[in-house]
Structure 1
Amino acid sequence: MNKKYFNTSFSILQWFVFLLANAIALPIIIGGIFYLSIEDISTLMQRTFLVVGVSSFIQAWFGHRYPIADGPAGSWVSIFVILGQVAMHQGQSAKDVLQLLEGGLIIAGILLFVLGITGLVHRILRLFTPLVTGTFLLILSLQLSGVLLKGMMGLQGAVTHPDYTTATIALFVFALITFLSIKGKGWMKSYAVLLGISCGWLLYAVLGKSSHMPSHTPLVKLPELFSWGTPRFDIGMTLTATLFTFLLVANTIAAISAVKQVAPLSKEHEKQTLNRGVWVGGISHIISSLFSTIGIVPLPASAGFIQLTGQKKVKSFLIASLILAGISFIPSIVNFISLLPGPIANAALLATFVQVIGISFQSILREELNQRRLTILGISLLISLGIMFLPESAFSGIPSSLQYVLSNGLLVGTMLVILLEQFWKE
């Protein structure tokens, strides 16, 4: 009985740390992009914890019903980054851009809800072949690898020179998690992510690099609604959010498909699972706008985490989600958790993406890679990855509505592979 209780407790803790690691890194990155104050980043993190916890719980309870962590979408981060860069070129304030992003989240949320609740998502399901899903996962992993590596090196906000001590610790955490996930025995393999983060945090403390908690915090604090202001809408954001909805559907399909490969729990019809996952995802996006956070989506990296740890129990996942949502109301706990060094969180996430890249190749290879599919894959990867290396000014001469779309390598690459798959028939 004690052993069962111990295993359940550690399973909950493992899921909690994974949810936390996903929730903590991207708000710090967004704070750096928009030059938010430390206080603003802290409150953004508080709201993110709440939305991630609630969204993960409702998805696992009556959405897709899999233990798939919801978290700030790396794909939405690319939109935030691009909009931030466009705003700087056009002289807009960060507040204006963040209000536009709130509007974009609402548009995407409504579209997802309609597609899921009406079952129309299955009209576009044929677009998401194994090649499309695998290519999406591969581009997403490669795009986020740059963001995560920068985070591991301490290159966040206005920082332009890497902190090599920080980078060494983060690299050690990445290597430790990867090593334990492959060579670890028993509980060490199951808790690779937790052990890696703990060791990294301890090294930070020993080297005196840990931050200090604020001395005065209220006992309980409610997250603020529309912290960035009233949502705004324009043609560019409406177009971007509409196209981006297809990407969000691809993300949901990829997450569910990837987790099904490593944790085939449900015997339910795939159509019902996807319908619920999509319309609940719409609700999550509207909640994200309401609490002014990055768009929250099911994370394909969850499959990598399950493969790393063997944690497949939905009950443990539900409890961990509720704990994360609950602690968002207690500033002292949020402040303590926010002390988790960003580079360590980035390193842990990068380790899970090693598995996601493997899953992307498995998806791509589910069908024979003939000359047609190889060419489609090659074109999509070259164009999407090429866009990521273009300078910020490359699209400055075109309307802002097109800048949002064309400067996003993940969006362009996914749309390209979908179009080529549909119009280039064998």
Structure 2
Amino acid sequence: MKISKLETGIGAVQWFIFLLANCLTIPIIVGQLFQLSPEDISGLMQRTFFIVGLSSLLSGYFGHRLPISDGPAGIWLAVFTLMGQVAMIEGITNLSNSLQLLEGSMLLAGIILLIVSITGWMEKLLSYFTPLVNGVYLTILGFQLCGIFLEGMFDVKPTSISIEMGVVLLSFSTFLLVLYLGVWGKGWLKSYAVLIGIVIGSIFFVIFYGSHPFPKKDAIFSLPEVFAWGTPKIDGSMIVSAILVAIVLILSIIASIAAMKHVLSMQSANGTRKEGTLKSSGLISGVNTILSAVFSVVGVVPYTVTASFVQLTGQKRMKPYFIASFLLAFIAFFPAIYSFFAMLPGPIANGAMLASYTTMAGIGISTVLKEPLDQRRLTILSISLSLGIGVMFLPEVVISAFPGVLQYVISNGVMVGLLTALIFEHVWKTSEV
């Protein structure tokens, strides 16, 4: 069936909104953590748009060659969060130093990914990431991200002492609308569910609550700044952190590709699609991680949750994906444009994204069920999910009691669940059941 230019254009808009919504909140979160000025946050948003767009293009053309967008990695955000909390206690000087350490850590993680890919270790590591391990990762990731979006729907801020129930009602209405269209909608209503939800939700938000004043920008054109946080630094604890994060990034690459292939197979995608190799995916991800350090943003990774978006909307073609990725990188050069898109109501975007991500845990469970769920695998699954989800509820005082290196691991449920599944899967042999 011939695809019209209008369908391609609308599909590109929906991909653009998806990419935009996935990277809008991260600069604000990091800015609050590290007490960045409004100008610095604006610059971080500009660089985030540029890197997410560029890395998605590179991955789509030279890496996995699948409609899997890149975005700020949850594991890197967890490291940023922990570093920011520690630095705030130690003082302003350490805030700047921490950002430079994070740059160095991302550079090292990117180099590790390049080495692993070039040497062919990526393919060898593939055998360690069984459907059970991948499924645990996807399931916990889905729960963790949905928690973040749910909090965003309530528009909770560090200074909040109450919530605006009208905003909550609008965000949940957006969530239900996108979910309904994605599950029960037909034709274009299903394909553009996220876009429809965000547009309608934003209109009602502006009607009832108005919009932020449009920021005044003197410059028409602006280049993203290189090493905006200063010269990269590295220390012992960050070396360990970079190695651990690199392991999670490798799994994220593998899981993202596996999840997307699973969704595309369910949707009877065109069998002539030319996919990239695992080696090329790792190489490009290494390059993208290094670029994240160079342009001082939260490290990017192929977004596993893109599979949920494609499953919900049916947007599996590469052309709209490429157009949207290019547009996101392009607007980063024009302050007035990216400042305008930054005015998108956060609760509405979070509501639409939550609807897109709700199937991620289901994809994880489906991945686990690719192999028979015997007593051994069921026990490993239960332990991994229990520990991975359980640590999300640990108070800060518990995490801070551990050495700095361990804090990076214990504070992240995805990493805890992943490491637990990896260890049990390969230490507990089948014959021992």
TM-score, normalised relative to structure 2:
0.94
User: What's the CA shift for 1:120?
Assistant: 1.0
Distance 1:268 1:335 in 2: 36
Distance 1:380 1:69 in 2: 27
Task: Name the aligned partner's letter for residue 402 of structure 2.
Answer: I
**Could you tell me whether the CA contact under 8 Å between 2:146 and 2:358 is conserved in 1?**
no
Q: For 1:138-159, what per-residue CA distance to the aligned partner results, in whole angstroms no more than 9, with x for missing partners? A: 1111112222122111113433
SS for the counterpart of 1:71 is strand
Q: Tell me, yes or no, if structure 1 residue 15 matches structure 2 residue 15.
A: yes
**Could you tell me whether the CA contact under 8 Å between 2:57 and 2:325 is conserved in 1?**
yes
Distance 1:248 1:263 in 2: 22
Q: Cα distance 1:160–1:280, how it changes in 2: closer, same or farther (>3 A)?
A: farther
Q: Tell me what 2:96 maps to.
A: 95
**Could you tell me whether the CA contact under 8 Å between 1:72 and 1:295 is conserved in 2?**
yes
User: What's the CA shift for 1:346?
Assistant: 1.6
- Unpaired segments of 5 or more residues in structure 2? none
SS for the counterpart of 2:214 is coil
Distance 2:395 2:24 in 1: 28
**Could you tell me whether the CA contact under 8 Å between 2:8 and 2:319 is conserved in 1?**
no
Q: Tell me what 2:105 maps to.
A: 104
Stretch moving more, 142-151 or 25-34: 25-34
Q: Tell me, yes or no, if structure 1 residue 119 matches structure 2 residue 120.
A: yes
Q: Tell me, yes or no, if structure 1 residue 153 matches structure 2 residue 157.
A: no
Q: Tell me, yes or no, if structure 1 residue 130 matches structure 2 residue 134.
A: no
Stretch moving more, 155-164 or 296-305: 155-164
Q: Tell me, yes or no, if structure 1 residue 163 matches structure 2 residue 164.
A: yes
Q: Tell me what 1:63 maps to.
A: 63
User: What's the CA shift for 1:125?
Assistant: 1.0
Distance 2:60 2:388 in 1: 32
Q: For 1:94-117, what per-residue CA distance to the aligned partner results, in whole angstroms no more than 9, with x for missing partners? A: 222221111111111001111112
- Unpaired segments of 5 or more residues in structure 1? none
Q: Tell me what 2:429 maps to.
A: 425
**Could you tell me whether the CA contact under 8 Å between 1:23 and 1:48 is conserved in 2?**
yes
Q: Cα distance 1:56–1:269, how it changes in 2: closer, same or farther (>3 A)?
A: closer
**Could you tell me whether the CA contact under 8 Å between 1:32 and 1:156 is conserved in 2?**
no
> RMSD over aligned Cα, in angstroms?
1.9
User: What's the CA shift for 1:131?
Assistant: 0.7
User: What's the CA shift for 1:163?
Assistant: 2.8
Aligned length, in residue pairs: 425
SS for the counterpart of 2:85 is helix
**Could you tell me whether the CA contact under 8 Å between 2:78 and 2:408 is conserved in 1?**
no
Task: Name the aligned partner's letter for residue 415 of structure 1.
Answer: L
Q: Cα distance 1:244–1:420, how it changes in 2: closer, same or farther (>3 A)?
A: same
TM-score, normalised relative to structure 1:
0.95
Q: Tell me what 2:362 maps to.
A: 358
SS for the counterpart of 2:231 is coil
Distance 2:20 2:115 in 1: 30
Distance 2:277 2:164 in 1: 45
Pairing 1:222-371 to 2, within 5 Å after superposition: 222-264=223-265, 273-371=277-375
User: What's the CA shift for 1:91?
Assistant: 4.2
Q: Cα distance 1:142–1:160, how it changes in 2: closer, same or farther (>3 A)?
A: farther
SS for the counterpart of 2:127 is helix
Distance 1:218 1:2 in 2: 42
State the percentage of identical aligned residues.
45
**Could you tell me whether the CA contact under 8 Å between 2:65 and 2:274 is conserved in 1?**
no
SS for the counterpart of 1:297 is strand
Q: For 1:346-390, what per-residue CA distance to the aligned partner results, in whole angstroms no more than 9, with x for missing partners? A: 222211111211111110111111111111111111112221111
User: What's the CA shift for 1:191?
Assistant: 0.3
**Could you tell me whether the CA contact under 8 Å between 2:237 and 2:404 is conserved in 1?**
yes
Q: Cα distance 1:22–1:214, how it changes in 2: closer, same or farther (>3 A)?
A: same
Q: Tell me what 1:212 maps to.
A: 213
**Could you tell me whether the CA contact under 8 Å between 2:141 and 2:361 is conserved in 1?**
no
Distance 2:141 2:90 in 1: 28
SS for the counterpart of 1:367 is coil
Q: Cα distance 1:311–1:79, how it changes in 2: closer, same or farther (>3 A)?
A: same
Q: Tell me what 1:24 maps to.
A: 24
SS for the counterpart of 2:301 is strand
Distance 1:319 1:63 in 2: 17
SS for the counterpart of 1:263 is helix
Distance 1:43 1:89 in 2: 25
Which of 396, 401, 411 is equivalent to 1:397? 401
Q: Tell me what 1:84 maps to.
A: 84
Distance 2:231 2:157 in 1: 28
SS for the counterpart of 2:168 is helix
**Could you tell me whether the CA contact under 8 Å between 1:380 and 1:414 is conserved in 2?**
yes
Distance 2:135 2:228 in 1: 36
SS for the counterpart of 2:372 is coil
Q: Tell me what 1:143 maps to.
A: 144
Distance 1:136 1:416 in 2: 10
User: What's the CA shift for 1:233?
Assistant: 0.6
Q: Cα distance 1:269–1:327, how it changes in 2: closer, same or farther (>3 A)?
A: closer
Distance 1:94 1:41 in 2: 14
User: What's the CA shift for 1:344?
Assistant: 1.7
**Could you tell me whether the CA contact under 8 Å between 1:33 and 1:157 is conserved in 2?**
no
**Could you tell me whether the CA contact under 8 Å between 1:86 and 1:400 is conserved in 2?**
no
Q: Cα distance 1:374–1:216, how it changes in 2: closer, same or farther (>3 A)?
A: same
Distance 2:132 2:161 in 1: 38
SS for the counterpart of 2:71 is strand
Q: Tell me, yes or no, if structure 1 residue 6 matches structure 2 residue 6.
A: yes
**Could you tell me whether the CA contact under 8 Å between 1:28 and 1:342 is conserved in 2?**
no
User: What's the CA shift for 1:215?
Assistant: 2.8
Q: Cα distance 1:401–1:54, how it changes in 2: closer, same or farther (>3 A)?
A: same
Distance 2:392 2:151 in 1: 14
Q: Cα distance 1:216–1:26, how it changes in 2: closer, same or farther (>3 A)?
A: closer
Q: Cα distance 1:107–1:161, how it changes in 2: closer, same or farther (>3 A)?
A: farther
Distance 1:64 1:276 in 2: 7
Task: Name the aligned partner's letter for residue 106 of structure 2.
Answer: L
SS for the counterpart of 2:246 is helix
Distance 2:187 2:400 in 1: 54
User: What's the CA shift for 1:266?
Assistant: 6.5
